[in-house]
Amino acid sequence: MNLIKVYGSGCATCKKLEALCYDVLQETNINATVEKVTDIQEIMKTGILSTPGLEINGKMISHGKLPAKETPTRWIQENTNS
Amino acid sequence: MANYQQKKPLHDGFRKIQIADIMKTSRKIAALGLAIVVWIVLYTNLNLATDYVVDSLLGLDKGAHLTEAIRFFIYEVPKVLLLLTIVVFVVGIIRSWFSPEKTRKILAGKSLLAGNIMASMLGVVTPFCSCSAIPLFLGFVEAGVPLGVTFSFLIAAPMVNEIALVLLFGMFGWEIALLYMSTGLAIAIFAGFVIGKLKLERYVEDWVYKIKAGSHETVDEKITFSERIDTGIEAVKEIVAKVWVYIVIGIAVGAGIHGYVPENFMASLMGKSAWWSVPVSVLIGIPMYSNAAGIIPIVQALLEKGASLGTVLAFMMSVIGLSLPELIILRKVLKIQMLAVFVSVVGAGIVIVGYLFNFIF
């Protein structure tokens, strides 16, 4: 099962990224669970300093920015298996 | 085996992508050049266009309060938005070379004074959003960046920002913009240094030091220049969309002051002779929260009506540099005593700068 994690303490950008993930999954028909991680301890464990962090199947792909829609689409396609 | 078979077509595809990428980049640069030409034509003709709209098209009474207020508004809104667009774009590209993770690596284990100086300057160019203040603070402290150095970064990052600089440059010229930047950096260095010297580590919330941060290999993503341009464009979309309302409101208030408030009205309130005006401006500015974009048009109007430069600068720094939302975020990691020290040290620095400028100019 594919697992996408969005790390962020609830700022506007983090919420947008989470919504973006759902959009992409729906459009690409990829099966994945999206999990929002808001606990600061958990965020710190990943070592990132800027939120939102986007982790796909255990790999931190990006952090600190809200990418345009095409980019996460590519990331999700490349890092998940159907 | 299956993996290997996949590799070859992928490689071919990669080459195609490379060629397509180069084509895309050159097209992008051409479009960019065109955009810059349009920008210059618009910017250099604003004065003419404004006069045409106000005097000929609307046929308003020259010199009347309302006319001058409208003229101010029609001229300033596009001017500020144009300046903002170009600077946010350029800064967006510059920032694509920096990240908080790289900054942390540079600052870890730095000695106090040198660390404060570097942290303040990195605060200007490192992309930073106040919503990331907590992970950034934790990450810095955990990696051994001294507390005082961390504060220099946290003070400089919001206070000396590209939006403030571009607006000051556009409205008052480069001297004032430079002045703001150097004094803002000085305050960040000074306040961080003092906080470091005071040894306030015990006033950081206890759980902060218990946090075990994982090590994140900062994979240096190879970014092509074309992607950096995209970053710049993204930054423009994001920031201009966020601040244009503040700019329009700020300029509207500024226009009102410009058109209606009598000359020298502010002299008695915010002029040099009113010695108390500097600390009072700073106190008023702390709970006020606005970004640079909203506050500077007001600042311009105040200056025009006889407020003194030092007082206005102090007010502006206090509004941008010390804000209630940021303090509330920081309260999660700092005990209230530490927060009080932070506000007083930064506030004192701003007051000193205010008096200094009132004295010099």
Residues of A in contact with B139 (CB under 8 A): 44, 47-49
pLDDT digits (tens, 9 = 90+) for A52-70: 888 888 888 888 777 767 7
pLDDT of residue A62: 81
| A44 inside 8 A of chain B by CB | yes
Interface of B with A (CB under 8 A): 99-101, 104, 127-129, 131-132, 134-136, 138-140, 142, 211-217, 230, 234, 238
pLDDT of residue A28: 85
Check whether B188 has a pLDDT greater than 90: yes
Residues of A in contact with B230 (CB under 8 A): 68
Query: Among B96-100, B160-164, B312-316, whose mean pLDDT is lowest?
Result: B160-164
Cross-chain CB nearest to B215 (options A14, A41, A47): A47
Question: Which pTM was predicted?
Answer: 0.79
B238–A49 C-beta distance less than 8 A: no
Check whether B116 has a pLDDT greater than 90: yes
User: How high is the mean pLDDT of chain B?
Assistant: 83
pLDDT digits (tens, 9 = 90+) for B78-100: 888 888 898 889 888 888 888 88
Q: Which domains does chain A have, with CATH numbers?
A: 2-79 (3.40.30.10)
Complex ipTM more than 0.85, yes or no: no
B134–A50 C-beta distance less than 8 A: no
Query: Among B133-142, B163-172, B265-274, whose mean pLDDT is lowest?
Result: B265-274
B136–A45 C-beta distance less than 8 A: no
pLDDT of residue A29: 84
Three-state secondary structure string covering chain B: CHHHHHHHHHHHHHHHHHHHHHHHHHHHHHHHHHHHHHHHHHHHCHHHHHHHHHHHHCCCCCCCHHHHHHHHHHHHHHHHHHHHHHHHHHHHHHHCCCCHHHHHHHHCCCCHHHHHHHHHHHHHHCCCCHHHHHHHHHHHHHCCCCHHHHHHHHHHHHHCCHHHHHHHHHHHCHHHHHHHHHHHHHHHHHHHHHHHHCCCHHHECHHHHHCCCCCCCCCCCCCCHHHHHHHHHHHHHHHHHHHHHHHHHHHHHHHHHHHHCCCCCCHHHHCCCCCCHHHHHHHHHCCCCCCHHHHHHHHHHHHHCCCCHHHHHHHHHHHHHCCHHHHHHHCCCECHHHHHHHHHHHHHHHHHHHHHHHHHC
| A50 inside 8 A of chain B by CB | yes
Check whether B10 has a pLDDT greater than 70: no
Check whether B228 has a pLDDT greater than 90: no
For residues B123 and B14, which has the higher predicted lDDT (pLDDT)? B123
Cross-chain CB nearest to A51 (options B104, B135, B211): B135
A9–B215 C-beta distance less than 8 A: no
